[in-house]
Structure 1
Amino acid sequence: MQNSHSISRIAILISGSGSNLQAIIDHQKLHSDLYEIALVISNKADAYGLVRAQKANIPTMVIEHTHYNDRESFDAKLQQALEEAKIDFIVLAGFMRILTKGFTQHFLGKMINIHPSLLPKYTGLHTHQRALDSSDKEHGLSIHFVTPELDNGPVILQAVVKIDPNETETSLREKVHQQEHIAYPIVIEWFALGRLSFKDNQAWLDQKRLIQPQVLSKTII
């Protein structure tokens, strides 16, 4: 889908406030020669992320999942919107929908997600509380390619935060959010530069297979 002679067109899918979207918008302003945020799609009409996009003059679209009888018909509409916008790369930023196998296969290698845990630990929801309940010393985030199995695609980059003795779910979530806002734009930039790819069901960076994910504190940007 990507044209090497033009800047990458990315779409960002959201369901809520869009704090990661804002971090990406801010990054793109400094790297407008690399990629364009061509479309922001929300499955909820009241998502504040839509306001963030509109303030930045980014085209937005609402595709409410409640208007569709099943996941397949919703995903078909979503796929149609992305293809009509000639999107090169899809970024899930707090998009609270489980996508169908057909949709993820169609965009395999062209779609990433950010998950608030150090995968493979704590797939699914309530990751911060689960880390606290397990008395973990560390927690963090993972950015991964999206594959048909939930939260199981190859991990590209992780960021680690320490869990303090007096940590709460709220304080831990905030720590992870701060790292998300740094990490997500880095991975998008890697794709836009042609450094990041997906082949043989694995993540590759600079034409080397990532046997272990990159770690944010050690990343050479």
Structure 2
Amino acid sequence: MSINVAFFCTGNGSFLKFIEQNRDTLGKFAWGGGVNLYLLCDRECGAYVDLKDKIDSIILQYSELGGVEFERQATCWLESKNVDYLVLTCDRILRYSLLDSYCKNKKAFNIHPALLPNYIGMRAVERSFVSDDSIYGATIHYVTKELDMGPRVARCVVERDSDNFVQYAHKLFVNQSVLLLNFLCVLVSRDQIHLLDDTFHKGFNPSLVIEKQDIVFFDSKDKEYLEI
């Protein structure tokens, strides 16, 4: 039986685009079958425009529905698709039926562009950039009602080697994308998910289960930014 993974996106959907172009690799790890991807949007964002012809997608206008009704309709749609896991790459905080249906059952994950518990909330990349930190990275955690406070299940740690924000952010994006792909490979394989402590070591935790040469990057030069 295939495993169904939905993404809630509100922007350009760069992480989902990366996952979609690596779908074959992800499918190889799926326990009992392949992986189906779904896209939930709260507006006509870049993710929907670029992926609606490749991925089963829906727009539910948050501005018209409001939070309670948006989450009710979103939950109904996800359940109609038998979605097993929900990945948040959005700027919405869940408070209602989505929280009850997916988050409380540990079926929802958020990917945060910082080494939690540091830099909780918005503009985490910018805040870490202006700090004196010699390392930075990204964290995947269970979604809970507390912002960015859910148990942490995956992270990548990279060394700071640039004072140019564009380069700094791009290196993070490359490693963060691979972090998400790797975590999904572990997740769909039905392997046990382990909680992380707050000890930071360079590289990926859990360790990469995918081969570097099998990863399809947006730009072939991006593999040079990968810290393993």
Class of the TM-score when normalised by the shorter of the 2 chains? 0.7 to 0.9
Distance 1:100 1:220, change over 3 A: same
1:20 CA drift (Å): 0.4
Contact 1:113-1:145 within 8 A present in 2 as well: yes
Distance 1:20 1:53, change over 3 A: same
Whether 1:156 aligns to 2:153 is yes
* TM-score of the superposed pair, with normalisation by structure 2: 0.79
Q: CA RMSD in A?
A: 2.2
* TM-score of the superposed pair, with normalisation by structure 1: 0.82
SS at 2:71's partner residue? Answer: helix
Q: 1:216 aligns with which of 196, 200, 204?
A: 204
| 1:57-108 C-alpha deviation (Å, 9 max, x unpaired) | x111111210123x22221111111111110111112x11111155223213
Higher-strand-fraction structure:
1
Contact 1:105-1:147 within 8 A present in 2 as well: no
Q: How many residues align?
A: 201
Q: 1:24 aligns with which of 13, 19, 22?
A: 19
1:212 CA drift (Å): 5.7
1:193 CA drift (Å): 0.7
Whether 1:44 aligns to 2:43 is yes
User: Hey, what's the Cα distance between the residues in 2 that align with 1:161 and 1:24?
Assistant: 21
User: Which structure 1 segments of 5+ residues have no match?
Assistant: 1-5, 197-203
User: Which structure 2 segments of 5+ residues have no match?
Assistant: 210-228
Letter matched to residue 13 of structure 1: F
Contact 2:2-2:36 within 8 A present in 1 as well: no
Residue in 2 that maps onto 1:96: 91
| 1:157-214 C-alpha deviation (Å, 9 max, x unpaired) | 11112223x5233332211111111110111111111114xxxxxxx34xxx544689
Residue in 1 that maps onto 2:138: 141
1:54 CA drift (Å): 2.9
Residue in 2 that maps onto 1:199: none
Higher alpha-carbon deviation: 100-109 or 130-139: 100-109
User: Hey, what's the Cα distance between the residues in 2 that align with 1:156 and 1:168?
Assistant: 30
Contact 1:122-1:130 within 8 A present in 2 as well: yes
Q: 1:122 aligns with which of 109, 119, 124?
A: 119
User: Hey, what's the Cα distance between the residues in 2 that align with 1:29 and 1:156?
Assistant: 23
